[in-house]
Amino acid sequence: MSVGRSPHYSIVSCEERGLPLGTMPAVGSFGNGKIHTRRKAHGRFVNKTGQCNISFSNMDEKSSRYLSDIFTTCVDIRWRYMFLVFSLVFVASWLTFGLAFWAIGLLHGDMEAGEDDDAFTPCTMQVRTFVAAFLFSVETQTTIGYGARYVTEECPMAVSMVVLQSIVGCIIDAFMIGAIMVKMARPKKRAKTLLFSHNAVIAMRDGKLSLMFRVGNLRKSHIVEAHVRAQLVKPRLTEEGEYIPLDQIDMNVGYDKGIDRLFLVAPITIIHEIDEESPLFGISKQDLLTSDFEIVIILEGMVEATAMTTQARSSYLSSEILWGYRFEPVVFEEKNHYKVDYAHFHKTFEVPSTPRCSAKDIEDRKSST
């Protein structure tokens, strides 16, 4: 449906407009006495997929900060970059120790000694070139052990280098396996099977005007200690004229009564009662068409298989909230079980009896009668 948008605020200096300060709007209007503000559409803060539309810039020492937590960095990057990094680390370690074995042999004179010289004992047998030293390094770190190349007792430095390379190889292997396992078991993949309805609805529920949306779990495995939160995000201008582009207001979805804790076996409709403490208290159906806000939904819980906390996110723009609608039933009772039909998960039906006025007007009418 076509929805009007209240504009966003953008700061423009009075010198650019050629206006004296005395002509600028006062506090409480669209200006703050020093800057001129104009409104434009508010963009989505959180996508339907749960990704936040945030980009970082001008971060001081970004590279050093990311490298200081190298394990998390390796887990967060894409698979192809992760394998590329570990491949480069392996090749670098092989080359480094191969160069070390070649240098030890060169200093000991292994490269000049003949193969038929039985009186000469090299540091490493069958290593007379850099390529042979590199292959010996690969065999040592990967524990292949073909047997043709091996370290003798002639050079303690070569023996020490074998021990050191074995330790370094174990550290690299442990780091790589740990990062891969953590990346594969990340709980955010579980969030892909947690579902939010495409739209939120506003209708009467138990005599009160309520905002409702639906959440579901596509797996039979449970989300332990599941709970839901909701926040209304919108731009706001303070009394002092300060512009806050993403002002976040908590919305009560039952945490005072404990009903925000979910037993998420079948799809559940989450209810926010629009009362005096609700940021939607003064909004009517007509106001909703021109409002500029976003409701961010956060569903958290522990994955039953791993006991790791997962979080799924979604959001609803004001244009995605249907006034005077309810969700179609999705759970049906059969002979020996309950059937969940996800074909009806996103479907709604109109409720013409829903008041068009705000919850504040409804309360005022009740108090006046």
Same domain for 156 and 114: yes
Of residues 349 and 128, more confidently modeled: 349
Asked whether residue 310 is assigned to any structural domain, the reply reads: yes
Same domain for 171 and 247: no
Residue 116: per-residue pLDDT: 62
Per-residue pLDDT reduced to its tens digit, 108-119: 887 776 666 666
Asked whether residue 14 is assigned to any structural domain, the reply reads: yes
Residue reference for tokens 């989300």: 223
Residue 42: per-residue pLDDT: 67
Same domain for 363 and 242: yes
Please state whether the predicted TM-score (pTM) of the whole model is above 0.85: no
Per-residue pLDDT reduced to its tens digit, 282-327: 999 999 988 889 999 999 999 888 888 889 999 999 999 999 999 9
Confidence of residue 29 (pLDDT cuts 50, 70, 90): very low
Same domain for 129 and 103: yes
Of residues 127 and 167, more confidently modeled: 167
Angle between helices 156-184 and 130-142 (to 10 degrees): 50
Q: How many domains does the structure of the chain reveal?
A: 3
CATH number of the domain residue 218 falls in = 2.60.40.1400
Same domain for 340 and 213: yes
Percent of the chain with pLDDT over 90: 48
Asked whether residue 246 is assigned to any structural domain, the reply reads: yes
Average pLDDT of 255-269? 87
Q: Which domain holds residue 19?
A: 1-41
Asked whether residue 306 is assigned to any structural domain, the reply reads: yes
Asked whether residue 205 is assigned to any structural domain, the reply reads: yes
Per-residue pLDDT reduced to its tens digit, 225-252: 899 999 999 988 888 989 988 899 999 9
Same domain for 341 and 217: yes
Same domain for 116 and 257: no
Asked whether residue 64 is assigned to any structural domain, the reply reads: no
Q: Is the pLDDT of residue 21 over 60?
A: no
Asked whether residue 62 is assigned to any structural domain, the reply reads: no
Q: Is the pLDDT of residue 50 over 80?
A: yes
Q: What is the 3-state secondary structure (H, E, C) of the chain?
A: CCCCCCCCCEEEEHHHHCCCHHHCCCCCCCECCCEEEECCCCCCCECCCCCECCCCCCCCCHHHHHHHCHHHHHHHCCHHHHHHHHHHHHHHHHHHHHHHHHHHHHHHCCCCCCCCCCCCCCCECCCCCHHHHHHHHHHHHHCCCCCCCCECCCCHHHHHHHHHHHHHHHHHHHHHHHHHHHHHCCHHHHHHHEEECCCEEEEEECCEEEEEEEEEECCCCCEEEEEEEEEEEEEEECCCCCEEEEEEEEECCCCCCCCCEECCCCCEEEEEECCCCCCCCCCCHHHHHHCCCEEEEEEEEEECCCCCEEEEEEEEEHHHEEECEEECCCEEECCCCEEECHHHCCCEEECCCCCCCCHHHHHHHHHHC
Same domain for 180 and 200: no
Asked whether residue 56 is assigned to any structural domain, the reply reads: no
Same domain for 275 and 363: yes
Q: Across the chain, what does the average pLDDT equal?
A: 83
Average pLDDT of 2-23? 37
CATH number of the domain residue 130 falls in = 1.10.287.70
Which of 184, 200, 228 lies at the terminal end of a domain, its last residue? 184
